[in-house]
Amino acid sequence: MGEPAKAIPAWEYASDVQVQFVDADGAVRFGPLARYWGESFEFSSPARKFTAFKGQKNFTGDCWAATSRSLVGYESWVERDADSVAEFVVSRRVGS
């Protein structure tokens, strides 16, 4: 058997990922994820509006997020479901 895989921090794994967001104070931030790893993205403003129109193939909307105690926008049901799972996981960790 070979050597076990070395565990690396998630921010290091995604070192080439760039993020752009509007922080809680309304300032636009852009840069590597490693720089903003500790940022509370759940309190950021949406980067763009979620549009809806007749004949649209995806379903946009808002769902309640207990961790931020606010509505969170989603652009598809897949995104909404992923957010719901993340909410569940976080609430289980906090509650235990």
Burial of 65 (0-12, 13-18, 19+ CB in 10 A): middle
Q: Distance between CA 38 and CA 19 in Å, rounded?
A: 13
- Reading the chain (96 residues) residue by residue, the pLDDT tens digits are 677 767 766 656 667 888 888 887 888 889 888 888 777 777 777 767 777 788 888 888 888 887 778 888 888 888 888 888 888 777 776 554
Where b means 16+ CB within 10 Å and e means fewer, 9-35 reads eeeeeeeeeebeeeeeeeeeeeeebee
| Predicted structure pTM score | 0.53
